[in-house]
Structure 1
Amino acid sequence: MLSFKPKKERHQLFGSVPPTLGTKPCQKEDMMDIQKTEQDFYFHLEQVGICRVSYPVHIVSKTTPQTQTTSAVFALSTYLPAHQKGIHMSRLTEQLHSFYESGKPLDMNSLRELTAQLAKQMNQPSASVQVSFPWFIEKKSPVSGTSGLMHATVQYDIHFHEKNGWTCHVGCTAQVTTLCPCSKEISEYGAHNQRGSVSIQVELFEQALLPDDMKAVLLHIIESNASASLYPVLKRPDEKKVTEEAYENPRFVEDVARLIAVELYEQQWIRGFQVECRNEESIHQHDAYAKCSYQKKL
């Protein structure tokens, strides 16, 4: 039977020492507030804050599951003038936790409210919130109707300025199937296809009437302009359907980018957009890539 010293003595054996009695104050009101120092610090900072903060969020969707909890990654920041040394970053975390405790769903309205509250709490003229999260969608296979869950990545980027108002961007990244038009044209027996990744970022008109579920609209625009959609579960009749659908709708990566750009342009609530498409080529080691951006004139 092995024998050991008590836990405290074991810790001392491995280097633990008792606390040092210091002379600095322990109460907040007695401590020096370095962040509040004011003098000429040379430059203002457009954004200063915290990033890569993971927090659970509530999502509401027009698609099934209509309510879900997922994990989001946040970045919270505010403006900092040149005469102030720093900000109290703990207040940013406190506001995020208050947002979580409120139980409000993560959407454009609640994020605008959070961003304006950050600026107020930090006593700054502007603030920004960026957040991304996986959004899960139940999808049925096209013939057998077999259900499963897939996900897309949704991003919100909200900036508030007390004089200039709001700048709001929404993004969606999803995967699709593409089939090579050139391969279909020159081959006797078929055509090679690949899985493509499409990422779109759109800027909103400030006073626009927004769709009930922007993320669902953006995902539909991505999937409907590819050769075919992806599905979590496919039985043999479904696989036949998807394979033939891709063959009937061949798309270069250039085609996907342009078709999506046209549909984004047609949306009255979108002020500007950027589309990026990347195909994981099945007959090459490299990927095919296309990018398109546009800003509507006011």
Structure 2
Amino acid sequence: MNKITDKIEDVQNTPDKRHLDIDKVGIKSIRHPISVKDKTGGDQSTVAMFDMYVHLPHNFKGTHMSRFVEILNENERTISVKNFEKILRDMLERLESKAGDVEMTFPYFVNKRAPISGVESLLDYEVTFIGSIKDNQFINQIKVIIPVTSLCPCSKKISDYGAHNQRSHVTVTVETNDFVWIEDIIELVEKNASSELYGLLKRPDEKYVTEKAYDNPKFVEDMVRDIATDLNQNNKITSYTVESENFESIHNHSAYAMIQSS
């Protein structure tokens, strides 16, 4: 043992007399490179924002914050989804805790082909992997924010010319009992929107997606109900939350709806 270290008091390990457990203590918003496998068979190298927490028993004054950073850096240079559970278990062992949570949020890119011209472009989605361990049980959740187009059925019904539409964010958080591709969650949501989005469109494509949205109007309530209906039929998904926020084009507020599985 280093003699200098021996002389420095470990304040975090000193007892606390207030007899209050802390549910979550740790670090937030630390960036680290990760590698994510996509459905095409490739690997995406990206940077994730990590939040890492452990449960702190009432008899400890504090946790060792530096150990969270050590755990990230002691793994491979890039962290993969495959070792996500291992990182969480290492964290609990290292910090002598029985429960903990790790969240990593990162941009994920899908190569999309425009519907008429076929021109390809990348579209980014915000993805969060959420892992937690309690009573030695690992729980895995995936959260994806999917931007789509929604067109107002009421506006279409009452207007002589056109209908107002807007970009919407659908947020799906699922707890899974088996491996689920990010692309499958994205596809499920996009097919239930008035139209999906693309990074690049030519004029024939723009005509197509505009008319597709007009022919497929959706209230924010329609969006969450249609998506929830499809999620209910997926055996790999044990629970979910579906949220939709429409950034209204004729109001200075958003329309919002949410369904949470029971």
TMscore range, shorter length? over 0.9
Alignment of 1:158-177 (within 5 A): 158-161=131-134, 163-177=135-149
Work out the CA distance in 2 between the residues paired with 1:99 and 1:249. 48
Out of 119, 128, 150, the position equivalent to 1:155 is 128
Work out the CA distance in 2 between the residues paired with 1:230 and 1:63. 20
Work out the CA distance in 2 between the residues paired with 1:47 and 1:281. 37
- Note if 1:137 corresponds to 2:137: no
**Who is 1:43 aligned against?**
20
Out of 184, 187, 192, the position equivalent to 2:159 is 187
**Who is 2:209 aligned against?**
242
**Who is 1:196 aligned against?**
168
Out of 81, 92, 98, the position equivalent to 2:74 is 98
Q: Which amino acid is 2:124 matched to?
A: H
State the TM-score, normalizing by the size of structure 1. 0.83
Q: What is the CA deviation profile of residues 225-250 of structure 1, one whole-angstrom value per residue up to 9, with x for unaligned ones?
A: 00001111110111111111111211
- Note if 1:121 corresponds to 2:94: yes
- Note if 1:110 corresponds to 2:83: yes
Work out the CA distance in 2 between the residues paired with 1:124 and 1:291. 34
Out of 216, 220, 229, the position equivalent to 2:183 is 216
- Note if 1:70 corresponds to 2:70: no
- Note if 1:257 corresponds to 2:213: no
Work out the CA distance in 1 between the residues paired with 2:214 and 2:29. 41
Q: Which amino acid is 2:163 matched to?
A: A
**Who is 2:200 aligned against?**
233
Moved more, 143-152 or 163-172: 163-172
Moved more, 181-190 or 124-133: 181-190
Work out the CA distance in 2 between the residues paired with 1:131 and 1:234. 31
Shift of 1:41: 3.4
SS at 1:51's partner residue?
A: strand
SS at 1:254's partner residue?
A: helix
Q: Which amino acid is 2:192 matched to?
A: N
State the TM-score, normalizing by the size of structure 2. 0.94
Contact 2:139–2:175 under 8 Å retained in 1: yes
Q: Which amino acid is 1:93 matched to?
A: V
Contact 2:33–2:79 under 8 Å retained in 1: no
Q: What is the CA deviation profile of residues 12-33 of structure 1, one whole-angstrom value per residue up to 9, with x for unaligned ones?
A: xxxxxxxxxxxxxx92121111
Residue ranges of structure 1 left out of the alignment (5+ in a row): 1-25
1:59–1:210 CA distance, 2 compared to 1 (3 A): closer
**Who is 2:61 aligned against?**
85
Residue ranges of structure 2 left out of the alignment (5+ in a row): none
Q: Which amino acid is 1:125 matched to?
A: K
Percent of aligned pairs sharing the same letter: 36
**The structure with more strand, counted as a fraction of residues:** 2
SS at 1:285's partner residue?
A: coil
Alignment of 1:267-278 (within 5 A): 267-278=234-245
How large is the Cα RMSD of the aligned pairs? Answer: 1.8
Work out the CA distance in 1 between the residues paired with 2:16 and 2:244. 48
Q: Bigger radius of gyration, 1 or 2? A: 1
